[in-house]
Structure 1
Amino acid sequence: MADDLDQDAMAAAWEAEALGDGGGGGGDDAFAAEWEAMVGGETGKTISASAIGAERVLNQDEIDSLLGFDLGDDDSDEKNGIRGIINSALVSYERLPMLEIVFDRLVRLMTTSLRNFTSDNVEVSLDHISSIRFGDYLNSIPLPAILAVFRAEQLDNYGLMTVDSNLIYSIVDVLLGGRRGTTAMRIEGRPYTTIERMLVTRMIEVILQDMQAAFEPLKQVDFSLDRIETNPRFAAIARPANAAIMIKMRIDMEDRGGRVELLLPYATLEPIRKMLIQQFMGEKFGRDNIWEGHLATELWSTDMQVEAVLDELPVPLGRLLNLRVGETVFLNQPPDGSVELRCGQVVLTKGRMGKMGRAIALCLDGPLSNSARRELIKQ
């Protein structure tokens, strides 16, 4: 009887397995549909995440954002991704707020001076200020261009000014009486002539004079033109990895114009860095005139105990204990010898003992020593 039950159970199991194989057609249909969907995806159809798994392919915009590169905006100051990490060592010009005020003043001065220089309606605008590495800037200069190396005398360093070809031909056209409403003729593939170089040099000297006036409220800085170059290799004034500040300005003369770029290495601005970190002109961090006046008044009215030491000599303890009233102690100091004036253990100065009226006085031989002042401040 048990054998019959086992045989029936095995038969039922085989029947169920056979039915499962027969119903596998639906599974085959599902796999066929999945493969068809994958093949269809190659022709432009959308593949669901359940069909190909949870993997997600990044497009080109997302890859550029991850790496921090944006080909559509070369002048963008915002760096993110891997590029932001690489350029994180650059110091942002926003930490030097007074620098933007200086170049706003330069724009106003250049508008007036270039109008007088060209006898034309000139508009100067400040595009932007950014931080850049010196080597990257030299590689990004569009050629042909004229590069002016100028020296900041009081800062004992150099700066770089770049004039693009559009502005060069526009200045030559304006100064030599070209007609308005016509674009300047550009002849590519030839070096600049002597006349073009001289006219642009005069404009650069005008800009340098305006820079001197713009920096004058902070510090007297004389900017002088050192040399004119057309090859960026010969205009190297700093190491390629050094950080610098780039200022882009636009000069428009009605339907003509171009760009002027100023590059100032951080080594050039280092002597006046404390002035450039000010939020406004004349700012002094941590200064309070009312508190300073109160502190000075209290210091002048403070009592300080000082001692006039005639002389010091070693005495055995036994003799000191045996001293009697009226006994004379002989010092090594002569009558006209100098006496030390002390405050505690600090020697302030020296003087000579005397008498004024009924009081014993001390005539000082000199002012307080610097070491004494430092010790008093510490105390």
Structure 2
Amino acid sequence: MTEILSQDEIDALLNAISSGEVSEDEYSSVGEQKKVKIYDFKRPDKFSKDQIRTLQMMHETFARLATTGLSAQLRALVVVHVASVDQLTYEEFIRSIPNPTTLAVINMDPLRGSAILEIDPSISFTIIDRLFGGKGESSKVNRELSDIELSVMEGIIVRILGNLRESWSTVIDLRPRLGNIETNPQFAQVVPPNDMVVLITLETKVGEVEGMTNLCIPYITIEPIINKLSAQYWYSSIRKGEVDENRAVIQERLDQVKIPLISEVGSVDISLNDLMNLQLGDVIKLENTPIKSDLTVKVGDRSKFKATPGKVGNRLAIQIGDSIEDIPDELLGSTRSEQEY
């Protein structure tokens, strides 16, 4: 940060330069120095700033879903939000987490490799206490989970993975599966120590207990979809998903609409007096309608198809033929094929 001098300090500096006590070259050389950015070849950057930002937005959605899901399951106030998204080596990640801890190995199908979901012990034991009927108060327990406790945490993690799948749906149809749960970080070597990973750190609060939840994803796992991790692609996928969802809803509702289908044998004009005098057995001769002519099928009040009359068993039926007027396929579906009514 640039240091701001007071007026007295500026006057003293000018006096010192004027009297020759301080050389001008000492200060001019400092200002001319170029800023050098240190680059560690052991830690090459794999993710661009845009990709890191996209990952952060994706997992902010994940954090909101996890907040809602855990709050409902634990019957307690749960708050999850993204604290940071960083890239580092896998060895640095392993050294930064406590031992023992709750560490889930996640298969990232259809992507290759596995990811790591690490839940702080304070959060794990608070969740377990809450599910076992306790108040979910903070405890300073530092031990490995028992078999029963592991089973409880397995159910929690599986639910969290469902939220993870939903948050990634705009980029890929991710199907994360829980592999196994470890308590010692040294037993979870999913990639070589010097491989780069992206670490999503989530601040998690259950009741009054706070802790960190870490999601570690190796670069080799994300590499096949690295080009999709851009803000432009992410936003366009969201808009496309909204359009597809709205279209599906509209289509579903249209499928439930009932519309009359009328098979018209023919037509004739008669007087009202003749109509009132019709009796059982009377015959009405239709105008310009030969016996072998096709029937007209109306959808609503519009003539749409030609049809041939017939019988199926003891029931009258018609067989759909040529169309009289083209109708969009999305409205009629497969009605152009031969159907019986």
TM-score when normalising by structure 1 = 0.50
Q: From 56, 59, 63, give the equivalent of 1:103.
A: 59
* Corresponding residue of 1:137: 93
**In structure 2, distance between residues paired with 1:88 and 1:157:** 20
* Corresponding residue of 2:157: 204
User: Does the Cα contact within 8 Å between 1:145 and 1:164 map onto a contact in 2?
Assistant: yes
Listed one character per residue, the Cα deviations across residues 282-328 of structure 1 (whole Å, up to 9, x for unaligned) are 559xxxxxxxxxxxxxxxxxxxxxxxxxxxxxxxxxxxxxxxxxxxx
Cα-Cα RMSD? 2.6
User: Does the Cα contact within 8 Å between 2:101 and 2:144 map onto a contact in 1?
Assistant: no
Instruction: Determine if the alignment matches structure 1 residue 187 to structure 2 residue 159.
Output: no
Kindly state the Cα deviation for residue 145 of structure 1 after the two structures are TM-superposed. Answer: 0.4
* Corresponding residue of 1:262: 215
Instruction: Determine if the alignment matches structure 1 residue 121 to structure 2 residue 77.
Output: yes
User: Does the Cα contact within 8 Å between 1:170 and 1:257 map onto a contact in 2?
Assistant: no
* Structure 2 alignment gaps of length 5 or more: 1-20, 22-35, 238-341
Kindly state the Cα deviation for residue 137 of structure 1 after the two structures are TM-superposed. Answer: 1.0
**In structure 2, distance between residues paired with 1:101 and 1:155:** 20
Q: From 171, 181, 195, give the equivalent of 2:127.
A: 171
* Corresponding residue of 1:233: 186
Kindly state the Cα deviation for residue 156 of structure 1 after the two structures are TM-superposed. Answer: 2.2
Amino acid corresponding to residue 216 of structure 1 in structure 2: S
Kindly state the Cα deviation for residue 88 of structure 1 after the two structures are TM-superposed. Answer: 5.6
Kindly state the Cα deviation for residue 196 of structure 1 after the two structures are TM-superposed. Answer: 1.9
**Change beyond 3 A, Cα 1:88–1:244:** closer
Kindly state the Cα deviation for residue 262 of structure 1 after the two structures are TM-superposed. Answer: 0.3
* Corresponding residue of 1:89: 44
Q: From 204, 207, 210, give the equivalent of 1:251.
A: 204
Kindly state the Cα deviation for residue 207 of structure 1 after the two structures are TM-superposed. Answer: 1.1
Q: What is the correspondence of 1:275-290 to structure 2 with a 5 Å cutoff?
A: 275-281=228-234, 283=236
**In structure 1, distance between residues paired with 2:68 and 2:74:** 10
Seq. identity, %: 24
Listed one character per residue, the Cα deviations across residues 40-82 of structure 1 (whole Å, up to 9, x for unaligned) are xxxxxxxxxx9xxxxxxxxxxxxxxxxxxxxxxxxxxxxx875
**In structure 2, distance between residues paired with 1:153 and 1:192:** 27
Kindly state the Cα deviation for residue 219 of structure 1 after the two structures are TM-superposed. Answer: 1.2
User: Does the Cα contact within 8 Å between 2:125 and 2:139 map onto a contact in 1?
Assistant: yes
User: Does the Cα contact within 8 Å between 1:93 and 1:131 map onto a contact in 2?
Assistant: no
Q: What is the correspondence of 1:1-379 to structure 2 with a 5 Å cutoff?
A: 84-86=39-41, 89-92=44-47, 94-96=49-51, 97-179=53-135, 183-188=137-142, 190-281=143-234, 283=236
**Change beyond 3 A, Cα 1:191–1:269:** same
Amino acid corresponding to residue 117 of structure 2 in structure 1: M
Listed one character per residue, the Cα deviations across residues 2-39 of structure 1 (whole Å, up to 9, x for unaligned) are xxxxxxxxxxxxxxxxxxxxxxxxxxxxxxxxxxxxxx
* Structure 1 alignment gaps of length 5 or more: 1-49, 51-79, 285-379
Please state whether the residue corresponding to 2:234 is helix, strand or coil.
Answer: coil
User: Does the Cα contact within 8 Å between 2:113 and 2:221 map onto a contact in 1?
Assistant: yes
Listed one character per residue, the Cα deviations across residues 322-352 of structure 1 (whole Å, up to 9, x for unaligned) are xxxxxxxxxxxxxxxxxxxxxxxxxxxxxxx
Kindly state the Cα deviation for residue 279 of structure 1 after the two structures are TM-superposed. Answer: 3.0
Question: Segments of 4+ in structure 1 off by > 4 A?
Answer: none
User: Does the Cα contact within 8 Å between 1:250 and 1:260 map onto a contact in 2?
Assistant: yes
**Change beyond 3 A, Cα 1:88–1:258:** closer
- Count of residue pairs the alignment pairs up: 206
Kindly state the Cα deviation for residue 92 of structure 1 after the two structures are TM-superposed. Answer: 3.9
Kindly state the Cα deviation for residue 167 of structure 1 after the two structures are TM-superposed. Answer: 0.6
Kindly state the Cα deviation for residue 87 of structure 1 after the two structures are TM-superposed. Answer: 5.8
User: Does the Cα contact within 8 Å between 1:151 and 1:159 map onto a contact in 2?
Assistant: yes
Amino acid corresponding to residue 242 of structure 1 in structure 2: D
* Corresponding residue of 1:44: none
**In structure 2, distance between residues paired with 1:195 and 1:186:** 19
User: Does the Cα contact within 8 Å between 2:50 and 2:231 map onto a contact in 1?
Assistant: no
